[in-house]
Homo-oligomer: A and B are copies of this chain.
Amino acid sequence: MLWMMDFTPQLRHDSDIPLYRQIFLHISAQIRSGELPSGERLPATRELAGLLGLNRATISAAYEMLETEGLIAGHVGRGSFVTGTGARSPAAGLNWSSLLDRPDPAAGRDTLPRQTISFATSRPSRDLFPLDEFRATCAAVLERADLADILQLGSPGGYEPLRRYLLDDARRQGLAGPNDDVLITNGCQQALDLIGRVLLSPGDTVAVEDPIYPGLKNLLADLGAQLAGIPVSAEGLEVPALARILQRERPRLLVVTPNFQNPTGATLPLAARHALLDAARAARVPVVENDPYVDLRYEGQSIAPLKALDRGDGTVLLRSFSKISFPGLRVGWVVGPKPLVDRLRQAKEAADLHSDQLSQAVLLEFAESGRLAAHLARMLEAGRDRLHATLAGCRDLLPPGARWTTPEGGMNLWLRLPEPLDAAALLGRAQKEGVSFLPARYFAVSRQDPGGLRLSFAGLSPPEIRAGLSILARIVAAELGAALRDDEPVPAMV
């Protein structure tokens, strides 16, 4: 096992390639080159973990990949042995792992925990879907005179009646001027992806809120972008920090969710919006206003969107039907300056020709018939109850020292457990006792917030929220008691 001598120096803890994969790549290269011949025994996972100072699960993951590749075989009680060079037969030609072996942008991607009472998913409750009204909407679409056009190949810009409806609506709201245009996308996620594809090159920096929702982190990582995180307080993104980052890191793009930000629920006040626009304009950095939650304001006054406040043309606005109607229908839209929208339309055509037209027609009918407004009124009522149940539960049940944001809308709030508790360390016990949530590390860009977690309340009824928070509060109180009794200092991070 001399080969381990030169092994340790190869591991790079700062790499984008996760450690298990680095180990897999190293060993598989040694096997394929013949340095590790067939029949050679690999060290036990426990042994190698000890030698490398790593978690045993990391080594196991690497060995599993080697086994999947046909490079090693495990024999219970005897260890793992090199079995060959991975070619299953002369005919089994391709080594997909090596073809795919650029740094895996998604390898660090987190998967969601399983749920019981789940505060983990930021989506509307399926119990609120107005199924009969959806059926009536579809029935109306099926009687449309242009049904065959809906079913025929469409335009990359979107189903024209919907596109025109959204553009007119944006104009009425002061969100679109004569130099703006609308492009329909598969939700905000695709809009962000297309914007990244036309504006970013690998290595470019993008300024984002920190914490931020994982879908945006993954997307930007896939595009090879670097993230510069701007701290978010209960009042939204901190503009002075943004100004420093704009100056220091020269990002190519700023992505901001001004209303009911995911994960914090924070909303940017009007003065901060003006200051943000001034800073971005001074730095000549375009602003992507990701605004899927705008219509989910349960209380308080609406604040003008950046797109309306921007006296220049530096803002592009993203909106979506998915948070206010049916997320399974993937329809969002971009309102932005024509030169940008033109290019996005080309990128959209290359990416998937155009968005699904049946859903576009259904959502247009849902909106034009007034059913969307009626549904939204019911969603607002339910959302208000759920938000209040969450805030009341936090207030009534959590031990002193816990802090949380108090959003006026959206689907999420941010809870910070009393020090020295670590939300990720608590999660296992919470799941065993029937509650789940996403701890801060799923959302972190560069700032660690070990006590932080996201509570997504929109998918749960008030009694479920109360019950879930009771369980969580009990665990928090118990762990807090144990931690404070404990003489050993508790590590700030796990």
Interface, chain A (partner B; CB < 8 A):
89, 91-97, 99-100, 102, 104-106, 109, 121, 123, 126-127, 129, 131, 134-135, 138, 142, 147-154, 185-187, 189-190, 193, 197-199, 201, 215, 218-219, 222, 252, 280-281, 284, 286, 311-314, 322, 326-331, 337, 339-340, 343, 346-347, 349-359, 362
Contact = CB atoms under 8 A, between A and B. Distances in A.
A4 to B, nearest CB: 27
Nearest to A135: B142
Given A94-B286, A123-B153, A131-B147, 9 more contacts: A91-B311, A96-B337, A106-B350, A123-B152, A187-B353, A329-B356, A329-B357, A330-B357, A358-B362
B129 A328 contact: no
A420 B212 CA distance: 62
A179 to B, nearest CB: 9
A193 B356 contact: no
B351 A190 contact: yes
A242 B92 CA distance: 21
Contacts of A347: 106, 222
A193 B126 contact: no
Contacts of A339: 96-97, 100
A63 to B, nearest CB: 17
A187 B147 CA distance: 20
A126 B100 contact: no
A123 to B, nearest CB: 5
Contacts of A313: 92-94, 96
Contacts of A197: 222
Copies of this chain held together in the complex: 2
A104 B345 CA distance: 13
Contacts of A150: 328
Contact of A153 (B94, B148, B222, B322): B322
Given A151-B129, A222-B197, A327-B152, A94 B314 contact: yes
Contact of A201 (B102, B123, B215, B362): B102
A99 B280 CA distance: 14
Contacts of A281: 91, 93-94
A322 B322 CA distance: 24
A401 to B, nearest CB: 34
Contact of A199 (B100, B152, B199, B329): B100
24 contacts: A92-B311, A92-B313, A94-B284, A99-B252, A100-B198, A100-B199, A100-B343, A129-B148, A131-B151, A134-B151, A154-B327, A154-B328, A186-B355, A190-B352, A215-B353, A218-B346, A329-B357, A329-B358, A330-B354, A330-B357, A331-B356, A351-B351, A356-B356, A356-B358
Nearest to A337: B96
Nearest to A363: B358
B356 A328 contact: yes
Nearest to A197: B222
A178 to B, nearest CB: 11
A382 to B, nearest CB: 15
Contacts of A343: 100, 104, 106
Ranked nearest first, the 8 interchain pairs of A and B with the lowest CB-CB distance are A93-B312, A328-B357, A186-B352, A91-B311, A151-B326, A190-B352, A106-B346, A153-B327
A350 B100 contact: no
A126 B109 contact: no
A328 B126 contact: no
B126 A151 contact: yes
Contact of A286 (B99, B104, B349): B99
A362 B362 CA distance: 13
Contacts of A97: 339
A197 B102 CA distance: 11
Nearest to A68: B339
Nearest to A347: B222
Given A313-B92, A358-B358, A362-B358, A148 B131 contact: yes
